[in-house]
Structure 1
Amino acid sequence: MIVARRIAGLALLVFTAAGFEAVAEDRASADPKPDGRSQNPISALTGDLAASKLSPKNRLLEEVVVTAQKRKESPQDVPISLQAFSAENLEARGVLDNFGLPKITPGLTITQQVGYTTTYIRGIGSDAFLLADPSVVNYIDGIYQPFALSLVQDFGAVERIEVLKGPQGTLFGRNALGGAINVITKDPSTESVEVSLQAVIGSFQQSNNRLHVNLPIANWLAVSLSGVFNTQEAHHDGRLDVRPDNTDGRDLPKEKSQAGRFKLRLLPAEWLDINLAYYRLDIEGTGTVFAVNTEPSLISELAGVRPMDPYNGENNEAVYSEAINENFYGKVDINAPWLDIKVLASEQRIVSRQLFDYDGARQPLVTFALDPGVADVRTTELQLLSNEGSWGSDWLEWILGAYYFDATQGLSGFLQAATTDLDRGLLLGARLPEVVPATLEALLGDSLLPTGTVDAVGLVGTESLAIFSQVKLDVTSWLSLTGGLRWQNEERVLIESSSGLRTLGGQVVPLQNFSGRDNPDFRDTTRSLDPKLVLEMRPNWQILGPDAMLYASWQTATKSSTFNAVNITDDPEYVRAEELTAWELGMKTQLFDGLASLNLAAFQYNIEDQQVQFISVLEGGIATFENAAEAQIQGLEIETTAQLFPSLWSGLVLNVAYAFLDSEYVSFPDGSGFDEDTGLLTQNNDFTGNQVVRTPELSGTVGLTQAFDLPSLAGTIEVGASYYYNSGFYYLAQNTPNVQENAYELVDARLTYIHNLWNLRVSVFGNNLLGEKYNYSRLATDFGTSDAVAPLRSIGLRLNWDYSF
């Protein structure tokens, strides 16, 4: 009933415009203008476009240029479902990091898993971190970032963010089945010195600080420096290092992150633009590594674990999460008379260390440590693009490119079962009499006496080469055809999958050891050829708006095969490549003399061998992927931004965006999951007919922003409020209540003063004002479900200042 009411409300908002148009037609002849022409009441109601331009500036209306097709275009001219946000737009909406993006981008789901971001768009994504590839790719300044560690943090000094929905394999490549998030940061400028400052204080002792400085050195050389330093207390009252004997433990530490980006830009000639950059991010704290067991399994209950309040929970381990991400990258742009040439390259390294209380309780059952997780990545891309001087440029656009990717990624760590350390006299968390370990050591020797710790190593190597091309042909003034093709050859090799028992003597007794260096069973090559076809029409039908674009697309995409590399006793398993076929119909238009935009998209995905993850130590591995034979997702998206009544109530903007998704595992007869009653791992379950993970049936936002001019104060007051609804989703394919995120609603509000002469903005904001409870993640394991909760109600003050001279 609630969902039905919201759909009905949305329909009312969308079709009110149609009603106004009908009224306009009925009244046209009854109210002639002095020159004999009929006056359209739409103009009387909304005001003409010229009048709207005199209204107070509303930052939600700022135009954004996107590079969704590797060249600069207006979003309304790109036959792709996308949403793009400038820095001003993000600021006006109160979005500072990735967790805010879903609230303004329906169909986008962002959660975390052990400190790593997991992103889904329209139900397509992956829980992969380090050992496989995400299905929604992330780009920063045109450089592919295979692991979204840094995207959790403050976006820093960005120019814009683009969220591209649907398969983007042709141009954005490597496994981009679900879409792409493209973050563009500010390039150095030779025109003026620029200083940009942001400072945020808020609930939970939040302190976010950002500084960006642009320094022109010569008319051909400029540099920029950006820095971010964030600290915040935990947003819940968790405790660490707590024992069953009621040892108090200690409070959660502060969350800290600091990042810096240095950019150098060279302009030695009019036709040459060189950008070089170095970026480093350091993170420490507990993050979502701190999770609380809210629904213990039978195993946990027998060990004395009871459900805990996730906002006031406890872990028996001193859990932590820390990471360093370093990135060297560069881009060279050559503008020749007949084509443009771009070369992009990067070298990336991630090192992360984490200690995770696997059971999420105060009882000492199982602890997992990542020490360390490592990724070394190298990328190179070449693009050849047509320009205005290319042959046939008035009717033909094309791009031809090549992409190379080379990476070694994986982890080493240890699993400690039941806090058993005979060297310290501990067995299942209990202290033994001193004579017991001494006797065992005398009988077995310290080389055979186990400490209770299992070491594990999983390392995967990837080498990929792709050739891609896309051609757009303007057949007539209103009809265009686009064809794309991507060929990819990707080789995966299991460098190492090993485990062993630690002994008191410091030796490791091997349990298993596999490598693809000399075993072809642990090497695999995925070869794919994925086409794309797009039909784009501009029929100039007045009922759709004067410049409406209709488009229809069909394409395929492939996500490469991989191996389950981290195992305790299980053999490494091969995970088949995932294949997707997508159809989409869409419309983009401007209405009411450009006062409103309306974008619609309907789509259907058919997925074969979808890669689905679960986590179980009792199964013999840690994070394990398996293939769902077939899945289907279909949906409808709607987005509109409108200036409301500019001649009567100037500066008022309405933003509405909703996504409706219908998903199903069409065939999944042999899935793994946890028994709903006992919590024990079960296999060969039939999940056919279940909902695809992380796919809410309905998600959407409604926002209103009003800007008021204050001439006496040389400024503008901006008032904004937004409502976000998510109908809920499942974290595992088994679709049981213990892996379900319930429906939730978020209400945010902002009040901003903008000093137009100084470009100074001061904002008071409140997030989740209803105090809604929801999760950043729900992790189901052999020991139950552990929750990492999102913040409850929070308020804050933000200062932004931009100055140039």
Structure 2
Amino acid sequence: MGRLHKRQDVMRRIFTGSLAGLSLAVPAMAQETLVLEEIIVTAQKRAEKLQEVPVSVTAFSAGMVEDAGIKTAEDFLSLTPNIRMVQSFTVGNSFVTVRGISQINNNDPSVAVVVDGVPQANQKQLSQQFFDIERIEVLKGPQGALYGRNSIGGAINIITRQPKDRMEGSAELGYGNGDSWSATAAIGGPVVKDKLLFRAAASYQDSDGLITNSFLDRKADFYQDKTGRLQGTWLAAEDISVDARASLSRTEGGAVLYSQFGTTGLSNATHIKPTENVLGESQRDMDDLSLKVDWDFGAATLTAITAYSTVKESYRGDLDFSSARVLGQGQDLDVDMLSQEVRLTSPNDQPFRWIGGAYYLHTDRALRTTVFLDNNGTIAGFTPLVVFGDETNDNDAYAVFGQGAFDVTQKLELSAALRYDSDQRQQTDLLRNNAVREKTFRKWQPKFTAKYQWTDAVMSYATFSTGFRSGGFNAPTVNPAIFAKETTTNYEAGFKATMADGRVVLNGSAFRTKLRNAQIFKVDLTAGAQIIDNIRRATLTGLELELQARLALGWDLFGGLGITDSEIRDFDGTAAYRGNQLPSNTKATLNVGSQYSFDITDSLGGLLRFDIDHRGKQYYTADNIDFRKSVTLIDLRAGLTYGDWSLTAYVRNLTDKQYFAEYADAKWSGSATGQDLGQLSRPRSYGVTAKARF
């Protein structure tokens, strides 16, 4: 049983690793020394110390997910330099911008998202509830060599709590303004000791909403989510383990809650509430099944991951965005994804370490877009007027990849990685005699890194890396009918330093990225089409700094600074918009916070925490006419712990800042009324949660 015990020890170190990033502090009531913890991450698909990984990584341990009150992707991305997320339009729609590279409508993600080793190939899968989480890792910069297509901006690894060989569980209940209820529960342990383990977790969220439709005098951002997850681990033999995972999610809520304010520009549009005569609705269903097999046969570990996922989303809402009873809109999306990954990973304790593997993804995607007549101001009264688009897509993606790292000396490590991606796309236009279009988008993605360990506490690195986001099809009647693949070439240098006898950690990086065929979104209302187009050339230049310091026993200070200056070099072959910022780019982000954990009595503990999130100027379109001014958000948390019980009160957006999280100028959005549109950010929210562990 020697190897089994060794494997369990490695898994225990991986899955119970504490803070793996530098934006947050360590868990409350767990700070027993003045030395910051040594962190293990799996950013490069093998277990490594954070301070020795030559990648810009921010990560969050299970304790920090709890202490920061992280429930959604937007929560942890707001604590990560140079990356921000906006959720709008439907319950599943989200836009992630990392280092100036953005997610857009109806397209592949800008960052690769991986949950328990399974890639989430559709961008609708990121905006989910996060519960029973062991660790979250955020990698910035192109990660194509290991993560493949759609990791053009970075990658997000989400690791849920894994089954253990002892019985344990938790339950949490929360209530907040907007008549918001939340409940989560988890339980896990052995079915057969040291042989068969399980873990089950569930989450329920329900809220009336916080944003008022002023015409209907009703909340427009109502929300309900029900998610369940079941995991099992079978230790089949001394060196073989089998992990199975199933999850189901049902989400519904508001949609198309846009404010309309003429063409006066964003500077005159603050605090305008939606006035639509139809209360929009959306619904998303997600199901996931996966099976992972690990076989350690000494010379290497063979890992095989098979996964099947479905995403279905539909929405209905106002199209004239006003109190008039004119038009409605709707879209129905149905996606099935089947993937298989196989890889071999060498042991860590060798001067030459390597990974090699192959990946396959098959996607069936159907999308139907409809304009409705608004007969009586309700979705039930909608009748179809015209179907603007009805298509099916049959896509096959193939990849092979490899990485090798060699210790040239005890201080110098050189590594190289290479991946080849082929994305074969086929579209059938159901409106035009089942016309079929086919195209394959291919890309080699190399990566080279040199790392130098100056001392045990100081490391620096330099990296050349590449990224790739596949192209695709627009409607056959618009120009361009096909949008090009997007590629990046990234040059980066960074350092990681541990100082003051382990009480201070400072990490930093600087980068310059060349971006070709950046994908942007616009609407052509005359053609009834949503269009993805390309910006031919742009550059991104920036830096990141992350700091964590233990000021005293139980008292931590932490923060992160990100700067990204983007420049359009060639928009469309003309001088148009040359020198402008890229759409959705935020030039600067700054998060600063502190957490104090303390003993009130021998059995009663306390926690005080604040987080400040400063978001610099953000540009919405390539003409840079409309932009959001800088905004600063403040969150507060205070808690009590008594044994296995805890009670926490929180306030998000303490000063009730309101701004437009998403903005669409009529020139780019194809607004039916010719007016600009925007979605308000969430106002101040507050509440209390109680949690018990057993």
Alpha carbons of structure 1 residues 750 and 63: separation in structure 2 relative to 1, 3 Å? farther
Counterpart of 1:294 (choices 261, 272, 275) is 261
My pick for the range that moved more, 147-156 or 318-327, is: 147-156
The answer on whether the counterparts of 2:36 and 2:502 sit within 8 Å (CA) in structure 1 is no
The answer on whether the counterparts of 1:62 and 1:86 sit within 8 Å (CA) in structure 2 is no
Structure 1 vs Structure 2 CA RMSD: 2.6
Alignment of 1:9-48 (within 5 A): none
- 2:19 counterpart residue number: none
Separation of aligned partners in 2, 1:456 and 1:54:
55
Alignment of 1:379-394 (within 5 A): 379-387=339-347, 393-394=349-350
Separation of aligned partners in 1, 2:249 and 2:111:
21
Residues 1:549 and 2:456 aligned together:
no
Alignment of 1:93-492 (within 5 A): 93-115=68-90, 116-129=93-106, 132-189=107-164, 191-219=165-193, 220-238=195-213, 252=220, 254-286=222-254, 288-295=255-262, 312-370=273-331, 372-387=332-347, 393-416=349-372, 419=374, 452-492=385-425
Residues 1:534 and 2:449 aligned together:
yes
- 2:634 counterpart residue number: 747
TM-score (norm 1): 0.77
- 1:724 counterpart residue number: 613
Alpha carbons of structure 1 residues 686 and 571: separation in structure 2 relative to 1, 3 Å? closer
Separation of aligned partners in 2, 1:571 and 1:55:
58
- TM-superposed deviation, 1:251: 5.1
- 1:652 counterpart residue number: 555
My pick for the range that moved more, 79-88 or 723-732, is: 723-732
- TM-superposed deviation, 1:293: 1.4
- TM-superposed deviation, 1:345: 1.2
Alpha carbons of structure 1 residues 283 and 64: separation in structure 2 relative to 1, 3 Å? farther
- TM-superposed deviation, 1:138: 1.0
Alpha carbons of structure 1 residues 608 and 778: separation in structure 2 relative to 1, 3 Å? same
Percentage of pairs with the same residue: 25
Alpha carbons of structure 1 residues 669 and 631: separation in structure 2 relative to 1, 3 Å? same
The answer on whether the counterparts of 1:195 and 1:211 sit within 8 Å (CA) in structure 2 is yes
Separation of aligned partners in 1, 2:31 and 2:502:
17
- 1:664 counterpart residue number: 567
Which residue type is aligned with residue 559 of structure 1? Answer: R
Q: Could you give the per-residue CA deviations for residues 389-409 of structure 1, whole angstroms, max 9, x where no partner exists? A: xxxx43111000100011012
More strand by share: 2
SS of the residue aligned with 1:76?
helix
Separation of aligned partners in 1, 2:423 and 2:123:
21
Separation of aligned partners in 2, 1:311 and 1:214:
48
The answer on whether the counterparts of 1:294 and 1:309 sit within 8 Å (CA) in structure 2 is no
- 1:701 counterpart residue number: 591
Separation of aligned partners in 2, 1:584 and 1:718:
38
My pick for the range that moved more, 569-578 or 699-708, is: 569-578
The answer on whether the counterparts of 1:332 and 1:342 sit within 8 Å (CA) in structure 2 is yes
Alpha carbons of structure 1 residues 477 and 772: separation in structure 2 relative to 1, 3 Å? same
Alpha carbons of structure 1 residues 495 and 311: separation in structure 2 relative to 1, 3 Å? same
- 2:541 counterpart residue number: 634
Separation of aligned partners in 1, 2:178 and 2:278:
23
The answer on whether the counterparts of 2:277 and 2:323 sit within 8 Å (CA) in structure 1 is yes
- TM-superposed deviation, 1:329: 1.0
- TM-superposed deviation, 1:280: 0.9
- 2:470 counterpart residue number: 560
Separation of aligned partners in 2, 1:137 and 1:282:
23
Separation of aligned partners in 1, 2:463 and 2:528:
40
Counterpart of 2:664 (choices 779, 795, 801) is 779
Separation of aligned partners in 2, 1:689 and 1:791:
33
- TM-superposed deviation, 1:59: 12
Separation of aligned partners in 2, 1:196 and 1:608:
48
Alpha carbons of structure 1 residues 256 and 735: separation in structure 2 relative to 1, 3 Å? same
- TM-superposed deviation, 1:489: 1.6
- 1:576 counterpart residue number: 484
The answer on whether the counterparts of 1:293 and 1:359 sit within 8 Å (CA) in structure 2 is no
- 2:511 counterpart residue number: 603
Separation of aligned partners in 1, 2:557 and 2:520:
38
Alpha carbons of structure 1 residues 403 and 59: separation in structure 2 relative to 1, 3 Å? farther
- 2:692 counterpart residue number: 801
Separation of aligned partners in 1, 2:326 and 2:617:
31
Q: Could you give the per-residue CA deviations for residues 632-652 of structure 1, whole angstroms, max 9, x where no partner exists? A: 0010110000011x3xxx322
- TM-superposed deviation, 1:581: 0.4
- TM-superposed deviation, 1:198: 2.0
Which residue type is aligned with residue 290 of structure 2? Answer: Y
Which residue type is aligned with residue 339 of structure 2? Answer: T
The answer on whether the counterparts of 2:273 and 2:680 sit within 8 Å (CA) in structure 1 is no
- TM-superposed deviation, 1:667: 0.8
- TM-superposed deviation, 1:185: 0.7
- 1:519 counterpart residue number: none
Q: Could you give the per-residue CA deviations for residues 440-468 of structure 1, whole angstroms, max 9, x where no partner exists? A: xxxxxxxxxx9743352132221111000
Unmatched runs of 5 consecutive residues or more in structure 2: 1-27
SS of the residue aligned with 2:81?
coil
Which residue type is aligned with residue 492 of structure 1? Answer: R
Q: Could you give the per-residue CA deviations for residues 76-120 of structure 1, whole angstroms, max 9, x where no partner exists? A: 111000101012112222322112123210211101243211212
Task: Tell me the matched-pair count.
Answer: 652
Q: Could you give the per-residue CA deviations for residues 379-422 of structure 1, whole angstroms, max 9, x where no partner exists? A: 1100100015xxxx4311100010001101231131136x489x
SS of the residue aligned with 2:41?
coil
SS of the residue aligned with 1:208?
strand
Residues 1:792 and 2:683 aligned together:
yes
Q: Could you give the per-residue CA deviations for residues 627-678 of structure 1, whole angstroms, max 9, x where no partner exists? A: 111010010110000011x3xxx322110211011111111036xxxxxxxx
- 1:591 counterpart residue number: 499
- TM-superposed deviation, 1:61: 5.3
- TM-superposed deviation, 1:361: 1.4
Separation of aligned partners in 2, 1:583 and 1:367:
47
Separation of aligned partners in 2, 1:139 and 1:532:
20
SS of the residue aligned with 2:48?
coil
- TM-superposed deviation, 1:178: 0.1
- 2:435 counterpart residue number: 515
Separation of aligned partners in 2, 1:140 and 1:776:
27
Separation of aligned partners in 1, 2:29 and 2:684:
37
Separation of aligned partners in 2, 1:458 and 1:343:
33
My pick for the range that moved more, 686-695 or 395-404, is: 686-695
